[in-house]
Each structure stands twice: as structure tokens, then as C-alpha cells.
Amino acid sequence: MPDDGGPSMRRRVALAGNPNVGKTTLFNALTGLRQRVGNYPGVTVERKTGDLSGAPGVEIVDLPGTYSLTPRSRDERVAHDVLTGRMAGEPTPDLVVSVVDATNLERNLYLTSQLLDLGLPVVVALNLMDSADAQGLMVDVAALSAALGVPVVPMAARTGQGVDDLLRAITGDLPAPPPRPAWTLMDAVEPAVEALANALPPDVPPRQRRSEALGALTSDVLLDAWATRSPAFHAEVLAQRDALDAARAPYRQAEMMGRYGWLTGIARAVVTKRADDAPTVSDRLDRVLTHRIAGPLLFLALLVLIFQAVFSWATPAMDAIETAITAFGDLLRPLLPNGFVEGLIVDGAVTGVGNVLVFLPQILLLFFFLGLMEDTGYMARTAFIMDRIMRKLGLSGGSVVPMISSYACAIPGIMAARTLSNERDRIITIMVVPLMSCSARLPVYVLFIGAFIPALAVGPFSLQGLTLVGLYLLGTLMAFAAAWVLRRFVFQGDAGLFVMELPPYRLPQWKTVFYRMIDRAKAFVVRAGKIILGLSMVLWVLASYPKHPSGDAAQQAEYSVVGRIGKAIEPAMRPLGYDWKISAAIVTSFAAREVIVSSLATIYSAGDDATEDSPILRERLQNDVGADGLPVYSIAVALSLLIFYVFALQCMSTLAIARRELGGWKWPAVMWLYMTGLGYVFAFAAYHAARAMGWG
């Protein structure tokens, strides 16, 4: 049923605006915590909706931040489709709030002018009035409202100023749809648009005919949709394009010139600047932060700080979580029937989920820093500083953040690649970020380095520490190499566009940073948790059954399904120096790398009835001897294993998220094959090189 906007009806209000205009802050202010975050079907664009605080029946849809409604990027496509009722399951909004940055009126009004063309009721939220004031900019609100023909609400969402006025505008009587904006196309193009507006099928409402005609003329994406909806109109557009091309009329650029021609006049009339022309705080900050020498050094310092935080500040919290999980398991044991159920729940589910939850402090810290970088405007500078280098390596400045995120976890890294507007850049970035050593590899590194790399001092450093740094470097360098190969041989051609705003620096909105951190962490826990919970129970069963008839625990590991698989693939793993136990442990960790630690613990403790006073895993590994009486582990085996874990893709969550972000199994399959292939080849090389050096 169509919504007539009456107060008892459900009303849908869309927030549209450029990136970096405080749209998220406004959305949070309007909805509080009553938000729902999901995805638009079939595209990796976040769909955020929420109920208006204190006004039941009003739903706010936060559209992706875009500079234009002409659908070139995925974000623009979604914004366009929602606003024109083309998105399945999304009714056309009843009201559009055009969120505009008062300090940058001219460029912001470009999108507003496109919104006015749609024929929907529009309210302009003139945000960041406090920043405009600080910069000595004065905006004549009444004149702006008169020029655009729609209500304009001056506000500052982060201080709450004007939010009540906007609320009244949203919940009150809907304003009349705006008059057709007074911008004009150049004479060479106008007749073509008029002719096309008349050629549209009769079901297109009069108020939308002109903008539909212009869209089809200037955008191939929009035109393509007409091929099935109205072949006659489609043919007419192609004919008009040919005629315009023949007349050398720049019809694709005519819209920009027409709109800006109109808007420049409006901006001049309504904005006055106080005389002082001092550089803004933001400009002064940029002199340092993007300085040719200081800029990169400060960026490096920030990375070191983030690493320090993620790897050492998180430790106490991680230890606490580990203790809590163990205590929780111990608490459960007496409550559960002995044997199968107890093992399945405590040793399987609780331990397995605990293995993932233990990374939560690191992931929260990483998300916190990333959110801070985004919210302050520094993120765009990292792309600006790094673009040249990254492009030489086959990536883009926008790949920096996904790569850094992946040091914590490839899942947020892959999700962060959404900001790359070029599809090839995005695919390449997603394909290589899982090579960055994530926090799940850390327990593996720590266990094997601690057990087998001698604690020698090398100058002021320890050999163990240097080995750890070397593993991180190895993964990072391989990510660059893989990107180079993909760009050179698979995704040939130019890197995507790098046309990016460097937004003014702003003080972070702690609430926004906090909500975003919690949102993303929740997504990680739910996704990872679901997979790990099921999988760790399955693995526990496979490692515990079938039961060896003698009941001798020493033979149980070998007798179990996991042990048999280990035996079966041992011939393939032998060239890397692995026996059946290591092979079995690797198999169990194909779903999640860190599982190898608990798998080895299971396999090795199976040889001992003592539970509480067992020697630690490290010593057991060191003391293990094979059938030939020689130690199973040598430096060569340890190096081989470490390198295998640097490269091999053993993470079901990464594959699942890559499938979602890349829309199919093809690239995730390639990802798994090339990474695991690299792991095998380099582990083999490392094992034999180390043996040749006498470390075997």
C-alpha cells in the first residue's frame, strides 16, 4: 500500500550525502542504538537502517556516502537504486534528507541537485555548521532554502545542535516535492534529453522523465537496464548518442557543467567568508603529516604503535580470557556426564571457541585504531602517502589499510578492501592480504620458535625475536610479490582511478569509533564462532574415535580418524620433514591455523594418562623421537613448519568471507591453491636448505 505520509503510517527516510560529511554521526544521533546492519542482496555494500528515536514508525535508511548518484561505483549503484525504487525489497523512500557539509557547500550541493531531480520530498541537513563558523564561513540559510526550493536545517550533528529541528522536519508533514531545479544543459545537448524524455515508456511518472532520460543518455549502466524494459527507448538513446557524437557535443560532461554552473552561482550568493585567510588547522596538520620526510616517518611510527598495542597491550586481556575459558570448562566438567558429552563440550566446543575468543582483545584494539584513523581523516592520507609505492607493486594506495588490518586478521582486511572503487584493485587486494601474518599464526610461531630456535643473542636482538620478525617480513614480501604477479599476468592494465578527497582532519567522535569497533568485532565473533564451534566438535570426535581396543592412550592418537589421515598423507608431507603426527595436526588446522596447537596437545597428551602435571607441550615436542630413535623435530623441521604456516591458507573463515566479497568460489579456490602451493614449495626448500646447512 502506498504511504501517504500520514502520521500513523510507516515512513521511510533516506539519508544521502557525500563521504565525510558526518552522515554516520547524524544517523547515530537520530537512531541511538536502534540500528540494524546488514548487506544489500548480492552486493558487498553495507545496509544500515534504524528506527528514529522517540518516533515509532519512522525508519531511517543510511545510504552509502557518495559524491554522485550516477551509478559508477557499487556504493553509487545502491544509493541510486534505493532512491529510484529499483532495489528489490526496498520501497522508494518517502523523504530524502540530503546531508551537506556547510564548509564545502558547492561540491556537496552537486549530489543535492541530483536528489532534487528525483521528484521526492527533500530536506537539506546543513551539517558541520560549527566547523563553518570556526573557519569564518557564514551561510545564509534562508537564501539557500529559497534557491533550492526545499527546507534547509542548519545543524551540527556531533554537538547535537539542530538535531531537534531536523527531527521535526522528518516527523512533521512532508514538504512538497521540490520544483524542478533551475539548472540547464548546454544547448547542444538539451534537445536530445527532451526528445528522450518524450520517448520514455508511458509508465514513467512525468516528474522523473527528465532525470531518467538524462541518466540513460549519460550512463551505460542505466542504459543497459532499458534494453529489456523498453527496447524502443534503448534504441532511441543509442541513436541520440550517435547524433551527439557526430555533432561533437560533449553530452557525458554536459550534466557536470550544467549543475556546477547553477551551483557556483548559489554558493557565491549564500556563503560569505570573513576576511581572515589564515590556513586552517587541518592545512597546518597536513604540512607535517603529508610532509615528504616527516609524513612517511610518522606513518611508520603509527604502525609501530599499533603493532605494539595489538601484540603487547592485548596480552593481559588475552591471558585473562584464556584463564576464564579454562575455568569455565572446569566448571562445566562436573555438570556433564563423563566421557563423550564431557569431551565433546569441554575439550571440543569450549576449547575450540576459546581458541578464537582469545584473539578478541587484539581485534578490538586493531578495529579501534582503524576506526580512529578513519574518523579523524588520517586514513585518506595513508593512501596519499603510499599510493606511489603500492602502485609499483601492483596495488593501490587504498590497499594499505586492508593489508595492515590483515596483520590482525584477514577477515577485517578483506572487508576493508570494499573502500577500493576499482574492481581489479579490490580483487588483487583481497587475493593477497591473507598472506600477511595474522594473529592466528602467532601462537604457531610462538610455539615452534620457543621450542626449536635457540635463544641466542644476535647483537642487541635475540635470534628468536629476529625469526619472528623474519616470518612477518616473509609473508608481507610474498603478498607484494603475489600482487605483482596478479597485476602483471592476470589483471593486466591500468590501476584503478585514484580520485580521492583528502577530508579535513576532525577530532574523533568517540561514540562513532566505539560503535564501529563493537559492530565489527561482533561480526568477527559470530562468523568465526559459528564455524569454529561446529568444527572443533567435529575435530574432537575425529581425534577421539574410533577408540583403540586396548584403551591405551598412547595408541589412541594413531588409531583415531585424525591419526589415520595423518598416516595416509604422511608420504606427501615427508619431503617437508613431517611425520604422521605433524601431518595429522596440519590436517586438523586446515580450518583454523591456531588449532594445530591444541591438536598437537591432544596428540601428545594422548600418550600420557597424567593430565594436570603433564610436561608442557614444548618439552614434549623437543623430546619426541621417531621410530629411528632420532628426534622428530629438528631446526630444519621447525623452519619448514613455520614457513608452511606463513604461506598456507588454513582458515575457513577467510575462505568464507572471500567468497562473500568476491561473489563466488572461483577466486577463493585460486587463493587456497596458490597459498597452500607456496607453503608446500617453500617449506620443502627451507627443509632441504636447512639440512644442507647441517641443521637437520
Partner 1 sequence: MTLADLHPGDAATVTGYAADVPERVLELGLLPGTAVTLVRRAPLGDPLDLRVRGFHLSLRLAEARLVEVTPDA
Residues binding partner 1 (CB under 8 A): 67-68, 70, 72, 103-107, 110, 252-253, 256-257, 260, 283, 286, 290-293, 295-296, 380, 383-385, 387-389, 397, 494, 497-504
Q: Please name every residue paired with 60 in a beta bridge, in sequence order, or none if there are none.
A: 13, 50
Q: Which is nearer to partner 1, 257 or 360 (CB)?
A: 257
674 to 2, 303, 314, 468: CA distances (angstroms): 53, 28, 32, 23
Taking the least distance from each CB to partner 1, the nearer of 18 and 509 is: 18
Three cell numbers, residue 675 = 597459498
What are residue 322's phi and psi, to 5 degrees?
A: -60, -45
Minimum Å gap between C-beta 567 and partner 1 is 54
Residue closer to partner 1 by CB (options 24, 114) is: 114
Shortest distance in whole angstroms from residue 100 CB to partner 1: 13
Nearer residue to partner 1 within complex by CB, 413 or 504:
504
Question: Between residues 51 and 133, which has the closer beta carbon with respect to partner 1?
Answer: 133
To the nearest whole angstrom, how small is the minimum distance from the Cβ of residue 272 to partner 1?
A: 13
Are the C-beta atoms of 321 and 361 separated by less than 8 Å?
A: yes
Shortest CB 363 distance to partner 1, Å? 30
Q: Compute the least distance from the CB of residue 356 to partner 1, in Å.
A: 38
Cβ atoms of 365 and 317 closer than 8 Å = no
Using alpha carbons only, give the angle 88, 91, 93 rounded to the nearest 5 degrees.
Answer: 135
The nearest distance, CB 251 to partner 1, in angstroms, is 12
Nearest Cα residue to 501 out of 23, 7, 66, 55: 66
Q: Which is nearer to partner 1, 148 or 601 (CB)?
A: 148
* Pairing between β-strand 58-62 and β-strand 46-51 as defined by DSSP bridges: antiparallel
Alpha helices, DSSP H only, in 185-230? 190-199, 206-218, 220-229
Helices 141-148 and 105-117 sit at what angle, rounded to 10 degrees? 30
Please check whether residue 498 is in contact with residue 421, taking contact to mean a CB–CB distance below 8 angstroms.
Answer: no
DSSP 8-state symbol, 334? G
d(CA 453, CA 26): 54
Exposure letters 659-695 (e unless 16+ CB within 10 A, then b):
bebbeeeebbeebbebbbebbbebbbebbbebbeeee
Could you tell me the smallest distance in angstroms from the CB atom of residue 70 to partner 1?
7
Nearer to partner 1, 291 or 547 (CB): 291
Which candidate, 421, 423, 403, places its Cα nearest to that of 413? 403
CB closer to partner 1 out of 352 and 503: 503
The secondary structure of residue 155, as a DSSP letter, is -
Nearest to 353 by CA among 563, 517, 592, 582: 592
The closest alpha carbon to 95, from 1, 183, 172, belongs to 172
User: Minimal distance in Å, beta carbon 104 to partner 1?
Assistant: 5
Shortest distance, CB of residue 317 to partner 1, whole angstroms?
Answer: 36
Q: Which is nearer to partner 1, 389 or 568 (CB)?
A: 389
Residue 478, C-alpha cell as written in the block: 610474498
Cell digits for 626?
621417531
Give me the least distance between CB of 107 and partner 1, in Å please: 5
Listing from the earlier edge strand, what are the strands of the sheet with 58-62?
A: 35-39, 46-51, 58-62, 11-17, 95-101, 122-127, 152-154
| Minimum CB distance to partner 1 smaller for 23 or for 48 | 23
What is the nearest approach in angstroms of partner 1 to the Cβ of residue 148? Answer: 18
Contact 695, 636 (CB under 8 A): yes
At residue 234's C-alpha, the angle toward residues 232 and 237, to 5°, is 110
Phi-psi region of 318 (alpha: psi -120 to 50; beta: other; left: phi over 0): alpha
Looking at the Cβ atoms of 119 and 397, the one nearer to partner 1 is 397
**What DSSP character marks residue 310?**
I
Q: Which is nearer to partner 1, 105 or 638 (CB)?
A: 105
Q: Residue 506 CB, nearest distance to partner 1 (Å)?
A: 13
Rounded Cα–Cα distance for residues 525 and 24 (Å): 23
How far apart are CB 526 and partner 1 at their closest, in Å?
36
Q: Which is nearer to partner 1, 287 or 511 (CB)?
A: 287
Q: How far is the CB of 19 from partner 1 (least distance, A)?
A: 11
Between CA 439 and CA 443, with CA 441 as vertex, the angle to 5 degrees is 90
Separation of alpha carbons 576 and 574, rounded Å: 5
Q: Which one, 254 or 365, has the nearer CB to partner 1?
A: 254
**What are the grid coordinates assigned to 517, written together?**
569497533
